[in-house]
């Protein structure tokens, strides 16, 4: 480690977000260079042989390493407080790579019931096919996590807060149970980002990200990452180099610049979301609001302990069920009707007929997804304008 790298390690998260991982080229550029190259050249046959054998460190091919991708990985690892990170082509590729590297046929996963829909599909439709069964448990029920452990359980997987109902896992407690049983705990930190929550410091073994959301922050590029110990990341890198779901250098450059403003943006998303959640909670046509920043949230204290802010996603139920929810959504003029989140543009969606549309009525009810539930991911517009749009929507209910 150089003196400069060591110096950066001892700075705050926001400083690491701006300064971490940078290597200047001979051109002495101030802003990070973008290396759009698939391969690298050598001085001689001997030089090439030494690099291929690993005797000399160096880039060979961008499926293996790329300076821009490495810059993003190092910066994110510094922000999460992990030894190392590896970037992937999407958030789902990050989760797949963790499973392919750490699991084998005969192993077992315990996962929260309230995880991203494609993650549930990956576990039930694909991993089960290769002999890795999964047991789903309630995110907040610590004893259920422990009770679900089998002798072959290798992985715990959770997201906190959950989407769209904002349930909170006690990450320290769940990670401690995993550790006692030699199980690797994985936290999908997409909703909080390291600006608001650091699962590794709470005891988790690995953090996975969809960089597509808040890390980009402007809805431009797809990407993901895994952060953790040198040993775990080395295993995952091995899979990625062979199988190929690596991050494109261009996307890495977009995310690298995204990290520089991440903390500022998360603070703005959180403060507007807090304002709107408190206002919605008082509204006569709103039955319930799901936001960890509200004092009325059943796990507000735990959330305040393990998060530095409450994020941009707010769920709320309007009186009148699906009809009312759809009327509200259709009456908005500013908000984008889309299921995506983590964008500068505020988005609005109806979970019961979109992200949770494939479930039976019973399954949806069990999951707590009511027909009147609306989810917004609060963006960076003037909060008064977002509120005015929601007033317009609520008048149509
Ligand atoms: C979007 C998302 C993913 C998947 O990420 P992609 O980049 O779309 O592959 C995983 N987890 C959570 C919580 C997400 O919101």
Give the CATH number of the domain where residue 196 resides. 3.40.640.10
Domain boundary among 239, 260, 281: 260
Q: Write the burial class of residue 387 (CB in 10 Å: 0-12 exposed, 13-18 middle, 19+ buried).
A: middle
Q: Distance (Å, rounded) from C-alpha 357 to C-alpha 390?
A: 23
Q: Distance (Å, rounded) from C-alpha 389 to C-alpha 355?
A: 23
Are 174 and 321 part of one and the same domain?
no
Ligand 1 binding residues, C-beta < 6 A: 90-92, 116, 118, 159, 188, 190, 210, 212-213, 222, 224
Q: Distance (Å, rounded) from C-alpha 220 to C-alpha 189?
A: 19
Give residue 345's pLDDT: 98
Are 209 and 269 part of one and the same domain?
no
Give residue 384's pLDDT: 98
Q: How far does the centroid of ligand 1 lie from the alpha carbon of residue 160, in Å?
A: 13
Q: How do the residues of the chain divide into helix, strand and coil, expressed in percent and rounded to 5?
A: 45, 15, 40
Are 153 and 220 part of one and the same domain?
yes
Q: How far does the centroid of ligand 1 lie from the alpha carbon of residue 137, in Å?
A: 20
Choose one of 94, 139, 169, 210 to mutate for the ligand 1 pocket test, by most ligand atoms within 8 angstroms of C-beta.
210
Give the number of domains in the chain.
2
Are 208 and 142 part of one and the same domain?
yes
Please work out, in degrees rounded to the nearest 5, the angle formed at the alpha carbon of residue 210 by the alpha carbons of 80 and 296: 75
Q: Which residues contact 233 (CB under 8 A, 6 or more apart)?
A: 82, 83, 84, 85, 86, 226, 227
Choose one of 113, 157, 169, 213 to mutate for the ligand 1 pocket test, by most ligand atoms within 8 angstroms of C-beta.
213
Q: Quick check: 131 and 109 in contact, CB under 8 A?
A: no
Are 242 and 270 part of one and the same domain?
no
Q: Distance (Å, rounded) from C-alpha 356 to C-alpha 363?
A: 9
Give residue 331's pLDDT: 98
Q: Write the burial class of residue 342 (CB in 10 Å: 0-12 exposed, 13-18 middle, 19+ buried).
A: buried
Are 253 and 274 part of one and the same domain?
no
- Give the tens place of pLDDT for each residue, 294-330: 999 999 999 999 999 999 999 999 999 999 999 999 9
Q: Distance (Å, rounded) from C-alpha 247 to C-alpha 234?
A: 16
Q: How far does the centroid of ligand 1 lie from the alpha carbon of residue 150, in Å?
A: 28
Are 256 and 271 part of one and the same domain?
no
What are the 10-residue block averages of pLDDT along the chain, 397 residues in total?
85 94 91 96 96 93 96 98 98 98 98 94 96 97 98 98 96 98 98 98 98 97 98 98 97 98 98 98 98 98 98 98 98 96 97 91 89 98 98 97
Q: Quick check: 311 and 268 in contact, CB under 8 A?
A: no
Q: Which atom of ligand 1 is nearest to the CA of 190?
A: 13
Are 249 and 301 part of one and the same domain?
no
Are 217 and 343 part of one and the same domain?
no
Are 353 and 250 part of one and the same domain?
no
Per the structure, the complete domain to which residue 203 belongs is given by: 3-260
Are 349 and 370 part of one and the same domain?
yes
Domain boundary among 260, 279, 309: 260
Output the residue whose Cα is nearest ligand 1's atom 8.
91
- Give the tens place of pLDDT for each residue, 206-221: 999 999 999 999 999 9
Q: What is the CATH number of the domain that holds 342?
A: 3.90.1150.10
Domain boundary among 260, 284, 312: 260
Are 133 and 279 part of one and the same domain?
no
């Amino acid at each position: 480690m150089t003196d400069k790298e060591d110096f950066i390690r001892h700075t705050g998260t926001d400083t690491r977000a701006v300064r971490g991982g940078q290597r200047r080229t001979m051109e002495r550029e101030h802003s990070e260079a973008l290396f759009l190259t698939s391969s690298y050249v050598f001085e001689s046959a001997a030089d090439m042989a030494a690099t291929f054998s690993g005797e000399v460190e160096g880039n060979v091919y961008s499926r293996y390493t790329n300076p821009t991708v490495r810059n993003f990985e190092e910066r994110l690892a510094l922000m999460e407080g992990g030894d190392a990170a590896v970037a992937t082509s999407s958030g789902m590729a990050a989760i797949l790579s963790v499973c392919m590297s750490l699991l084998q046929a005969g192993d077992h996963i315990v996962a929260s019931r309230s995880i991203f829909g494609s993650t549930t599909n990956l576990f039930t439709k694909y991993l089960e096919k290769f002999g890795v069964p999964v047991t789903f448990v309630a995110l907040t029920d610590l004893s259920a996590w422990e009770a679900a452990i089998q002798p072959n359980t290798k992985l715990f997987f959770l997201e906190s807060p959950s989407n769209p109902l904002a349930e909170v896992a006690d990450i320290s407690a769940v990670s401690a149970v995993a550790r006692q049983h030699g199980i690797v705990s994985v936290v999908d930190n997409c909703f909080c980002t390291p600006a608001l929550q650091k699962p590794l410091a709470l005891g988790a073994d690995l953090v996975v990200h969809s960089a597509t959301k808040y890390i980009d922050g402007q809805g431009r590029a797809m990407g993901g990452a895994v952060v953790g110990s040198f040993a775990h990341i080395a295993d995952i890198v091995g899979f990625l180099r062979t199988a190929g779901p690596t991050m494109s250098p261009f996307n890495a450059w977009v995310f690298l610049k995204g990290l520089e403003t991440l903390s500022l943006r998360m603070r703005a998303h959180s403060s507007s979301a807090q304002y709107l959640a408190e206002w919605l909670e008082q509204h006569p046509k709103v039955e319930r609001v799901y936001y960890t920043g509200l004092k009325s949230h059943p796990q507000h204290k735990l959330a305040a302990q393990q998060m530095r802010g409450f994020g941009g996603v707010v769920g709320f139920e309007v009186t009148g069920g699906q009809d009312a929810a759809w009327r509200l959504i259709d009456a908005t003029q500013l908000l984008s009707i889309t299921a995506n989140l983590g964008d500068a543009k505020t988005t609005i969606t109806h979970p019961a007929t979109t992200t949770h549309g494939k479930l039976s009525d019973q399954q949806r009810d069990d999951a707590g997804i009511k027909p009147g539930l609306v989810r917004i991911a609060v963006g960076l517009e003037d909060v008064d304008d977002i509120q005015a749009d929601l007033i317009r929507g609520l008048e149509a209910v």
